[in-house]
Structure 1
């Protein structure tokens, strides 16, 4: 069809939708008679002056349904992952409750991190002065504030070499989660700052936008268990 066949139209100018729309309104039968064009754009003619928009509408509905199904599958996958992580956390808690000493507690935490969560390692660190249990990491006074900030409770993000908490496993740690603890290991002594550290082999294993609830829960379990036994000076 020739949309430029009017005297006032400049044939050198490109077509624009308002002009096309005006022409179609003025010549509707031309479109209705072009069955192949209607089928190409997803429309189906039914007799004269009747066009079935069902195919096009159904296509849009199917696209919306597919997007909703994809979103639902993603939500379900996240829910399953969260449920699995919670289950593993509960089992790891039972493992920690079986600990018989500070060193056994540290060993069990490291084993749970590797075996149940696929992490590289986990460690418990305690500030000096004062005795540090065998298997724990010693931090100089102010070490916890150095990593977490004066009022920080947790930190998640890339690993940094100066952390020095994971021993030989440090080379396999790409990201870390740190959780603050306060331990009263001597009834006659002060409360001592401490932290639990988890190391992941994946750079995105721990990121700042993640929640830290499960790691914090395990840290609270470690905190309560650690206060059961005295620390030798």
Structure 2
């Protein structure tokens, strides 16, 4: 159940959290909407197991609301804590999901979510390598104006390329798939050819895709 809850969190907290939502959730109405989106995504992915796990899902939603409200207070108090508040916030969300999944495993072990763990892990890995890394890197480099400009300029093409690189690493050892993926990846190499920070971008994207691939393979091997 943990991987399903994690995937739901990643979908709602990244692709479904636009720049408008980031600003809006500083208000009560915006924060309520943000948490409501989380609830809807969880309900969809939990699927047939909902009658058995509605209580921990409600607890996740309440804790999420409290954590994000607390983050709003911290950021008004210490607006320069950009990276630390981001990391702390996500770490606390992960702990909440782990505790909820542990409760589910103990009290309703037969609860079966919509997706199998291997698929939830795979989808989470692709999200991490693409959109989530874009948001995270933008936060980590918020003080580097030059890199921020290129990061936003090449955001889409770099996300697609990281997804292709992840696919290549996952398909390592399969010549036909690797050669096709290589051609596609090379066709999207624009930010690594023309960008001022092209070497940094290329190295970062390769490492992110490699770590994501290794994590997916390792986690799926343990299922």
Q: TM-score range by the shorter chain?
A: under 0.3
The structure richer in helix per residue is 2
Higher relative contact order (CA 8 A, sep 6+): 2
Q: TM-score, normalised by structure 1?
A: 0.25
If you compute each CA radius of gyration, which structure gives the higher value, 1 or 2? 1
The structure richer in strand per residue is 1
